[in-house]
Structure 1
Amino acid sequence: MVDKGTFLYILAPLLEKQDVLIMILFVYLYLFKTFCLFALFCIQKIDEEIDFFYIEEIGRL
């Protein structure tokens, strides 16, 4: 079992204002990166569907 004092000792430096802002910034950047990768994935899938449509309708790209 973890002693609560030890747990607070580990978290104490993180409770400073500057560190919390840095953590929030990293979380924001991680979420933004994840959103960008998802958007690129969606754009790629839409582009593939357009290519398949051209191949089916026209017979070539």
Structure 2
Amino acid sequence: MSVAKAQRGGYEFWLASNLLEFTSDAYDCTVFDGEGNPVKLPGYRVDGITDAAIR
């Protein structure tokens, strides 16, 4: 489930999910980019999200 642009707090870059528990599990993580396209992150969910934030 992607997040509506109005709910993003004005961020220019977006990679998230409004209900992460419903779009992924521990080793199969899917978040959404600013256009609403699904992006699969590799590895363990917490590690994938952390690595994406660092990038």
Tell me the TM-score range normalised by the shorter chain: under 0.3
Higher helix share: 1
Greater Cα radius of gyration, structure 1 or 2:
1
Q: Output the TM-score relative to the length of structure 1.
A: 0.21
Q: Output the TM-score relative to the length of structure 2.
A: 0.24
Which structure has the higher relative contact order (CA within 8 Å, separation 6+)?
Answer: 2
